[in-house]
Amino acid sequence: MSGDEICLTLPADEAFHGVAHLVLGGLAVRLDLTYEDLQDLELALDALLERSSEDGEVTLLLRVGDGTIHTVVGPFSSLRAELAEDGVGDSLNLKRILVAVCDRVDVEERDGAQWVELTKSVQAEGRVGG
């Protein structure tokens, strides 16, 4: 499944976050990802979906490359400042979550909104009898 792309646009309402999880889980099964990699991707996705505007839409773009998954989520009105914060003491903020579970986190401006791109190196589980 190298080089494939999945694009999903859904209402930003929390009731639809499960649909994004379903797509991500299906991709993880198809790629035979480890459970840890799936958990990392779900944690990052949840951290971003929680910050989406409830009255709009959110788009999730998943690109699969050789050993990596690129996830683009947006649009957001103002995440850049939150991602720049290091946090105080042991506080858990968006930047700490994303940096802990992803290899790279970028924010880009598109059409007056912010989009977050996450890059995660992944490996297949390597099931026996497959």
Nearest to 120 by CA among 54, 41, 36: 41
Look at residue 128 and tell me if it is in a domain: no
- Residue 84 maps to which CATH number? 3.30.565.10
- pLDDT number for residue 52: 87
Quote the domain boundaries for residue 81: 5-121
**How much is the average pLDDT of 115-120?**
96
* Residue 127 in this model has a pLDDT that exceeds 70: no
Look at residue 127 and tell me if it is in a domain: no
Look at residue 130 and tell me if it is in a domain: no
- pLDDT number for residue 118: 96
Reduced to 3 states (helix: H, G, I; strand: E, B; else coil), residue 61 is: strand
| pLDDT tens-digit map of 50-95 | 998 878 999 999 999 888 999 999 999 888 888 887 766 666 789 9
* Residue 46 in this model has a pLDDT that exceeds 60: yes
What is the count of structural domains for the chain? Answer: 1
pTM: 0.85
Reduced to 3 states (helix: H, G, I; strand: E, B; else coil), residue 101 is: helix
Nearest to 61 by CA among 49, 52, 70: 70
C-alpha to C-alpha distance for 106 and 82, rounded to whole angstroms: 13
